[in-house]
Amino acid sequence: MGKYESFREQYPVFVYRSYKITETDDSIEIGYVFEFPDLAKFEPGWSFKKPAGFTAKGDLTFERMAFSLGMAEAVSYWKAACSPEFRVECGELDDEQIQWWKKLWFMGLGELFFVNGINAQRDTFVNITATGSFDSSLSETARQPKGCLVPIGGGKDSALTLETLVNAGMECRCYSINKRRSIIDTVTTAGLPEEALIISQRHFDRSLIELNNKGFINGHTPFSSIVAFSAEITAYINGLKYIVLSNESSANESTVVGQEVNHQYSKSFEFEQDFHSYEEKYLHTGQYYFSFLRPLAEFQIAKMFVSHRKYLPVFRSCNLGSKVSPDIWCGECPKCLFVSLILSPFLSLAELEDIFGRDMLNESNMKEYFIELIGQSEHKPFECVGSIDEVNLAVSLAIRKLEQNGSKLPLLFEEYKDRGLYHPETIDSLNDECCGSFNEQNLLPAEFKKILKKEMERLL
């Protein structure tokens, strides 16, 4: 019997016990209680900054959002034993909602199942039952939200979104979970005051790490769904209408060839559509959740981003480096390599080395990641990286540029040519096709679509 089956047999039930909303003069605290009976209790929480004049007291919409954020959080703890029964003792879920959450968890845990060798089945991996209810005295509060909330991660994508919207005259506030130097620097580099950044605090229950150290199941969870629900709460508290993500069309590509295993599932258009529908039917905030960069591929975003050179010293996208203060590029992970590759047609090798602090394209220990990124492996790296086709286009353009300048090719680019992957006769047509593409599978409101198309025409 494998670990998955064994833990499910030993710990057949996981319980979402409760959530509690506590208000002070300047903050709203939400505390959660999750539990594996006879094994562990978890008490994570959130802190949201509260502006003057707002109260969550008696507000049914806020209760729904607080409860839903708990559902998004719960999967991080449930996954330790993957209990077949998930019991919800607070809030309300109808049958359609239960199916919605099961889909998110199954698709969002695809990488965890794959990496851990778990053969989970969508229909049977968990049975969700809900016995709670909302207080009947609660009522919805009519609001007229306006303006944009732009979640900022510190990377090139959210920097491009913010820069474009600010230049177009859109009213923008920014959002982050916890505080990082690169996020603050992105906001101020865009010309906004630091006060434009709204920071929520996520309080993770570290007792989960104790279970992981004992051999319980660990792995990737759909974190972007947590971003979605916490951003909804932040926008609601601050009276903001649009929640403007920076997820691109490349996030739709499966990470594992031939399988529905996508590291970026909760950044995909499929999840964006699902979340949009969930918000309209069950949250009733009057807000609108969408991704501004959804029509674009990572290659297009990189080309547009480098035209705003003021961000080059401040942007960061490295997950390992984000755990260091101040956050850095680690220079050793597939995410760092991907960003270096996607920028390589538009920057010199010296500029790339200056950004990342090392010459990754000449390091042999990057070869395995490189092979995965160019599609010569069973799967892409389990990171937020672009599509295989656009990585190949970026590498081909960079090789041509270097050869035209008479420069020596770095080790990884020599590897690319040795594999027979460099075809200069197709580069221009592929480049034109990519730069001119506009994925119509998007939820951009008309005014935002006009802004993006204008910026594409200017920069591409």
Which residue range is the domain that position 400 belongs to?
323-437
pLDDT on residue 154:
95
pLDDT tens digits, one per residue of 291-337? 999 999 999 999 999 999 999 999 999 988 888 888 999 999 999 99
Task: Give 379's DSSP letter.
Answer: B
CB 141 within 8 A of CB 55: no
Structure tokens at 310: 């003021």
Domain contains 430: yes
Mark whether 40 and 145 lie in a shared domain.
Answer: yes
The tens-digit pLDDT sequence of the chain (460 residues) is 689 999 999 999 999 999 999 999 999 999 999 999 999 999 999 999 999 999 999 999 999 999 999 999 999 999 999 999 999 999 999 999 999 999 999 999 999 999 999 999 999 999 999 999 999 999 998 888 999 999 999 999 999 999 999 999 999 999 999 989 999 999 999 999 999 999 999 999 999 999 999 999 999 999 999 999 999 999 999 999 999 999 999 888 888 867 778 889 999 999 999 999 999 999 999 999 999 999 999 999 999 999 999 999 999 999 888 888 889 999 999 999 999 999 999 999 999 999 999 999 999 999 999 999 999 998 999 898 999 999 999 999 999 999 999 999 999 999 999 999 999 999 999 999 999 999 999 999 999 999 999 999 988 7
Mark whether 141 and 261 lie in a shared domain.
Answer: yes
Residues forming beta bridges with residue 14, ordered by sequence position: 86
Mark whether 133 and 192 lie in a shared domain.
Answer: yes
**In whole angstroms, what is the distance from residue 321 CA to residue 337 CA?**
13
Domain contains 454: no
Mark whether 373 and 229 lie in a shared domain.
Answer: no
Mark whether 207 and 253 lie in a shared domain.
Answer: yes
Task: Give 281's DSSP letter.
Answer: I
Mark whether 249 and 395 lie in a shared domain.
Answer: no
**In whole angstroms, what is the distance from residue 449 CA to residue 295 CA?**
9
Mark whether 286 and 420 lie in a shared domain.
Answer: no
The reported pTM is 0.96
Domain contains 167: no
Q: Total structural domains in the chain?
A: 2
Query: Could you tell me which residues come within 8 angstroms of residue 364 by beta carbon, excluding any fewer than 6 positions away?
Result: 411
| Closest by CA position to 295, among listed 133, 401, 443, 143 | 443
pLDDT on residue 325:
80
CB 82 within 8 A of CB 125: yes
Domain contains 32: yes
**In whole angstroms, what is the distance from residue 363 CA to residue 411 CA?**
7
User: Quick one: 362 exposed, middle or buried, by C-beta within 10 A (0-12, 13-18, 19+)?
Assistant: middle
| Closest by CA position to 70, among listed 42, 110, 37, 112 | 42
Q: H helices then E strands: how many in the chain?
A: 17, 11
Mark whether 211 and 259 lie in a shared domain.
Answer: yes
Residues composing the chain? 460
| Closest by CA position to 207, among listed 12, 21, 35 | 35
Q: What is the largest CA-CA distance in the chain?
A: 75
Domain contains 314: no
Mark whether 66 and 137 lie in a shared domain.
Answer: yes
Mark whether 263 and 379 lie in a shared domain.
Answer: no
Mark whether 422 and 350 lie in a shared domain.
Answer: yes
Last residue of a domain, one of 268, 291, 314: 291
Task: Give 167's DSSP letter.
Answer: H
Task: Give 282's DSSP letter.
Answer: I
Concatenating the DSSP letter of every residue in 137-163 gives T-B-------SEEEE--SSHHHHHHHH
Average pLDDT, the chain: 95
Dihedral sign for Cα 439, 445, 447, 448, please.
Answer: negative
Domain contains 21: yes
**In whole angstroms, what is the distance from residue 11 CA to residue 33 CA?**
17
Domain contains 310: no
User: Quick one: 104 exposed, middle or buried, by C-beta within 10 A (0-12, 13-18, 19+)?
Assistant: buried
Domain contains 114: yes
**In whole angstroms, what is the distance from residue 10 CA to residue 7 CA?**
5
Instruction: Give all strands (DSSP E) within 82-196, no chain letters.
Output: 85-88, 127-130, 148-151, 172-177
**In whole angstroms, what is the distance from residue 300 CA to residue 69 CA?**
33
Mark whether 387 and 257 lie in a shared domain.
Answer: no
